[in-house]
Amino acid sequence: MPDRKIWDVVVVGDLFIDEVLSDLNTLTKLGEEAFARKFRREIGGGAAITACGLAKLGWRVAVLGVVGREDGLWVVRRFMDAGVETAFLENHPDEPTALTVSVSTREDRAFFSYYGANERLSSLLKEPNAKKLMAAARHVHFACTPDRQLHAGLLHSLRNRHCHVSLDVGGHESWLMDARNLEILHDANRFFPNWREGELMTGESEPHKILRAMHDKGVTAVALKLGGKGAALLWRNKEFRCDPFPVANVDTTGAGDCFDAGFIHGLLQEASPEECLEMANICGALSTRALGGIAGFPTLSELKAALVRSPV
C-alpha cells in the first residue's frame, strides 16, 4: 500500500548562511581589496533556496538538513517566515551552520564556504525518522553530493514508495567526473546540472552533445541550465530548448536552485516537459532581480504573468 503523502515536497541537502556581497565592478585578485555596494544576509545552499521557492508557490514543503546549535535558531526563523516546515532539522552539537560568502558582479561570482554542520547530513539520512519523512512526500529533491553507498539504495527505495526523486549535486568536480556515480543518477527521475557540470560529466561543450552523451550513459531525464543562454531538456529520447527570459540582473546567487524549484512546480502540476522547462527558466531568471537566492523568487501570480509573456 502506498505511503500516505503528507508533504508535496521534502527537500534534502546542505544548508548555509549566505553572506552576499554584490555590485562590485570586478572580482578582486588575491592581495587586493574591493568594496561591494550591496549586501544581504540570507539562508542559502541549494536545499534552502529550492525549498523556499516551492513554499512561495504554495506547496507543502519540509526541509531535512543540519544546522548549528547556536546560530541555527536564526536559520529556523527564516525558514518559518518562508512557510517551510523545520521540525525535521537537526542541530549539530559542535559545528556552526555552514557559511558561504558570495561575491558577485553582474556577470560572474565567486564563493568561499565553510561546510560546518553539513558534515552530519549523511548520518541523518540513515535514521528511520528521516526515511519516514521522505517517504511521506510526493516529491523528494536532493540538493547535495550523494554518497554512492548510501544514496543509491535510498533513491531506489523512495521510487518504490511512489516518490518522485530529483537531484542537483552542484559543482563538485570529483563527483561529477567519477563514472561510478552514474548508478545514482539512474535512480533519479530528474537530474539538474548546469552547463559546466554537464561538460565535466561528458567531455562535451555543446548543449545538444551534452544531452546526447548523458542519454548514452543511461541518464534520460536531464534539465540542463545554460545561464544567459536559457535552458535545455532531455526527456527520454526527445530534446527541448527555451530561450533566456529577459530580466534586469542584480545577483545570480541561487538562480540554478530557483530553476530547480520552478521545474518541480511544473512536475507537481503534471505539466508537459516543455511547460516544466519554461517555468524553471522563468523562476531562475526572475530570482536574479534581488540579492541572494530567495528574495527575487517569483510569487505564483508573477510566474503566471511571466508565462503569458513567454508562452510555450
Q: Looking at the predicted structure, is the pLDDT value of residue 105 above 80?
A: no
Can you give the pTM of this predicted structure? 0.93
Do 273 and 242 touch, CB atoms closer than 8 A?
A: no
CA distance 61 to 58: 9
Return the DSSP state at 32.
Answer: -
pLDDT score recorded for residue 102: 84
| Tens digit of each residue's pLDDT (9 = 90 or more) over 68-95 | 998 999 999 999 999 999 999 999 999 9
The CATH homologous superfamily to which domain 7-29+36-309 belongs is Ribokinase (3.40.1190.20)
DSSP H helices, 128-272, are 128-135, 148-160, 173-176, 182-186, 195-202, 207-216, 255-268
What is the pLDDT averaged over residues 111-138?
93
Q: Tell me the pLDDT band of 152, cut-offs 50, 70 and 90.
A: low
pLDDT score recorded for residue 74: 96
Q: What is the percentage of the chain residues whose pLDDT exceeds 90? A: 73
CA distance 89 to 178: 30
What is the domain partition of the chain in residue ranges?
Answer: 7-29+36-309
pLDDT score recorded for residue 52: 98
Which of 86, 40, 13, 65 lies closest to 261 in space, CA to CA?
13
Q: What is the mean pLDDT of the chain?
A: 92
CA distance 164 to 307: 25
Of residues 187 and 240, more confidence is placed in: 240
Tell me the CB-side half-sphere exposure of residue 271, using CA atoms within 13 A: 18
